[in-house]
Copies of this chain bind each other. A is one copy, B any other.
Amino acid sequence: MTESFSHLRVNADRMLAAFNQLASIGATGDGGVSRVTFSEAHIAARKWFRNEIENSELEFRMDGAGNHSAFLNCGIKDAPTLLFGSHLDSVPNGGRFDGALGVMAAFEVLRTIKENRINLKLNLEAIDFTDEEGTHIGLLGSSALAGHLDENQLQNPSGGREKLASGMTRARLSDESMLSAARSKESLVGYLELHIEQGKRLERAGIDIGIVSAIVGYGSYHLSFIGRADHAGSISMEDRLDAGQGASAFTLTVRETVMRDFPNCVANVGKMDFVPGVSNIVPARVDLLLEFRSPDENQLFQLDTALIKLAQAAAEQFSLELLFEPFNKHVPNLMSEDFQKLFKGSCDALGLSSVVLASGALHDAQSLVDLCPIGMIFVPSVGGASHAPREFTKWDDCVNGANVLLQTVLQLAHL
């Protein structure tokens, strides 16, 4: 390192101006935004970002998956690239920070480095990934970049093929282009992402920066408690085989058990369907959606086993039959320990408090875990809100995150 840039900070005002312009695109009038992938608002946000990049004297790039990037070439032949960013799409009626902050911070970091004419040994690329939220296919752009996307996913998107096809047309993309976006391992040295926490841990602890150790793994089940339909007026309480009792007992013990025995994990019963579902028939069957997460692969397995045992116990308690079928599973994705150390160093140098924590939510970073080292930092979410208009992070915290990203990028990329 020929010159120290440890004093360098992002231009907080310029970042705020850009952030606010972006937040006005698809604004819902209550502080939130609706920019579902390939909607009019999303296309407008993409176009606005492209213009911003082109006006900044950074190079604009778009790959076959529609990922938009600001690119800064280090000038060294065949140099690999350090990637950092997030996504501009949102859930319907989402917040203005989720994804958007990460892209705006990445873009600001790149502008700061560019205007300071810093000698680099790596190319730098600030990226907006397509459809992180899964309007069509969750983590679409990052999966395509990592070479994970397959034809089958493109034919069976969650919103239906027709919507994806017309969306791709609007964004001038195609199945062929999507599948051509894969990058090589050699081309990347890593991926960094700044994101809001979407939880209350940082806020409650009064800590500035969360250094992510892992994106939790998860499992999910379709569970069915099966009893017997009887006339709810004429059968005594003792004689019922009430599927609702088993489902309810399970739902309560899931929470108690996770809080007591798996304090760093979470579990959710997100849905119950009662059959036949009328007031005067004892529920014959309750179908239930269970999801659970852990940052550790062994623990995820233990949690899985413990939860199924709870379901069996609840079924037995009320003399019910139990059916269960897993429908989704993902091992935890570990963040690079080197990147965690670098983030910690940046925080310390900036005088910011930090804590290591796991991310309960999915992020684009995990798509890239087999492609290159990944690293993430979180900034506090007020009240833990996320995916809602009330989602909010204090601007000082946003700037802190951007400066940690800047300093970490410099440590990796400065010649």
Contacts and interface: CB of A to CB of B under 8 A. Distances in A.
B237 A248 contact: no
A280 to B, nearest CB: 6
A157 interface: no
A209 interface: no
A375 B90 CA distance: 65
A197 interface: yes
Nearest to A266: B237
A371 to B, nearest CB: 23
A220 B259 CA distance: 34
Most chain B CB neighbours (cut-off 10 Å) among A248, A283, A361: A248
B237 A259 contact: yes
A281 B270 contact: yes
> How many residues of A sit at the interface, in one of the four size bands?
35 or more
A279 interface: yes
Nearest to A274: B271
A359 interface: yes
Interface stretch (A226-234, A336-344, A347-355): A226-234
Interface stretch (A119-127, A173-181, A238-246): A238-246
**Which has the most chain B C-beta neighbours within 10 Å: A234, A267, A384?**
A234
B274 A274 contact: no
A231 B291 contact: no
Contacts of A239: 199-200, 384
Contacts of A218: 233
Interface in A200-238: 200-201, 216, 218, 220, 229-238
A290 to B, nearest CB: 7
Interface stretch (A6-14, A107-115, A249-257): A249-257
Given A198-B234, A270-B281, 6 more contacts: A199-B236, A232-B268, A237-B258, A237-B267, A244-B272, A270-B283
8 contacts: A199-B234, A232-B291, A234-B361, A234-B386, A248-B248, A248-B249, A271-B278, A279-B290
Interface of A: 197-201, 216, 218, 220, 229-239, 242, 244-245, 247-249, 251-252, 255, 258-259, 266-272, 274, 277-283, 289-291, 293, 328, 359-362, 384-388
